[in-house]
Chains A and B, each alone.
Chain A
């Protein structure tokens, strides 16, 4: 019975994703332009040297496209939607359901992510094949990538959930969303592989959850991580999901208490 409930939530998330077709397409296009620019920048850089911090052109031309795919899954974020509901007060009705608000939100996001992933896969897949052919592909690494990317979606949800709760305190949804976007784009490895960050920064990033969103799955795909390291990194992703989940529960309790405080 529970499965049915969950499936229904995911289904609506999927439909939601389809409804935002225009937003989705423009978001995809923006990301794609970014990926194309990065692709050619790297291509030029590698003309002058063979490797940058262990990355070769062979790896980089995969990384750019795959990070684009990771980044396309759940591009728009749900903070804006949630913030709207918080500010309008509609959130009350979401809380009055015989189901956990967070689980409902998570399933909804998963549904939307599923829609975006399937669309992104077709686009990126064809570009990837055109650019690289099948010479680098490995079944084992692809499977690892899929699992790791799914874990990355979990981390992304955890982070977005925490940020969306901020809207209970500040009414500025746009600022909150932008702040989160910049943080995730930079620290997740969507722009530059984290291995290229300078020393201290590099170590700092190791202690943040963001790398699990793009960098980890991409490095698994490109073979930058050995099989052993891949497993360790995935374990790390799972630990982060646990930490963010616990933090979310705590913060949620506090944030929903705000309703009690101000009323209105």
Chain B
């Protein structure tokens, strides 16, 4: 059974185009010129229950945009998204109950109150039954090692502690689907290890469907069975993790393959040399910071 269905998904951003220099900035202040940048250009894929899928792509390839559309906070430009049969943007609140989301660079913890208070708040908001809450707190507490800092406010946590707490917060209501956008960014090896062990366990024991973006290739390789590679908003590769080696070269490591893809389009098949300028253009769209 497919839990995520994506068909012809597109998204354009409108960005302000500035000319160089003082005059250029003034001109854009008075009459901003906009240009559109295609962030996602027609993605189609479906993910079955219990799958663990890695989303891979250079910075600005459209991974985060896709995740935002899947979670329902961003309206798709065109095409359709179905999460457990429903449109996440139209039914954002219903959808929110059935997904868990972790953004490595953002937090849902309340800044000034103890972490455990955020957890209690989530228990009420998601209407989590008492015994489920207790069981999960116990289990997450053990595997992620939360007990030491539960009574600390979020602002006092280290990055590793914060991400672990955020991960637990996203899973308290036992969502069938979990989205992770660079959850291990900036973390030390030990914490990374802990998080991936935890994700593996959740995926195996609870059949939680996991969709994750990351640049930690070794960890992705051990966690995810399936790999989707995005390149400039399009799917370049979508198949089992082992197939990537068959296609791009058995003798290479995943890292080598990825470097080739990021640097020069499609390795192995028809490598197209790219200038530094076009590589820059494929970079992250500028504009709002949200």
Contact = CB atoms under 8 A, between A and B. Distances in A.
B288 A261 contact: yes
Contacts of A9: 121, 124-125
Interface string B60-86: 000011001001111100000000000
Nearest to A99: B125
Interface residues of B, number: 46
Interface string B131-163: 000000000000000000000010000000000
B93 A98 contact: yes
Interface in A59-75: none
Interface stretch (A13-21, A184-192, A204-212, A225-233): A13-21
B101 to A, nearest CB: 6
A86 B106 CA distance: 11
Contacts of B276: none
B98 to A, nearest CB: 9
Interface residues of A, number: 39
Interface in A22-60: none
Interface of A: 1, 4-5, 7-9, 11-12, 15-16, 19-20, 81, 86-100, 104, 168, 171, 257-264
8 contacts: A89-B105, A93-B103, A98-B96, A259-B290, A261-B14, A263-B39, A263-B68, A264-B286
Interface of B: 11, 13-15, 39, 64-65, 68, 71-75, 92-94, 96-97, 99, 101, 103, 105-108, 110-113, 117-118, 120-121, 123-127, 153, 284-290
Given A88-B289, A89-B103, A264-B289, 20 more contacts: A1-B127, A8-B125, A9-B124, A12-B121, A91-B290, A96-B96, A97-B125, A98-B96, A168-B290, A259-B288, A259-B290, A261-B14, A262-B13, A263-B39, A263-B68, A263-B74, A263-B290, A264-B13, A264-B285, A264-B286
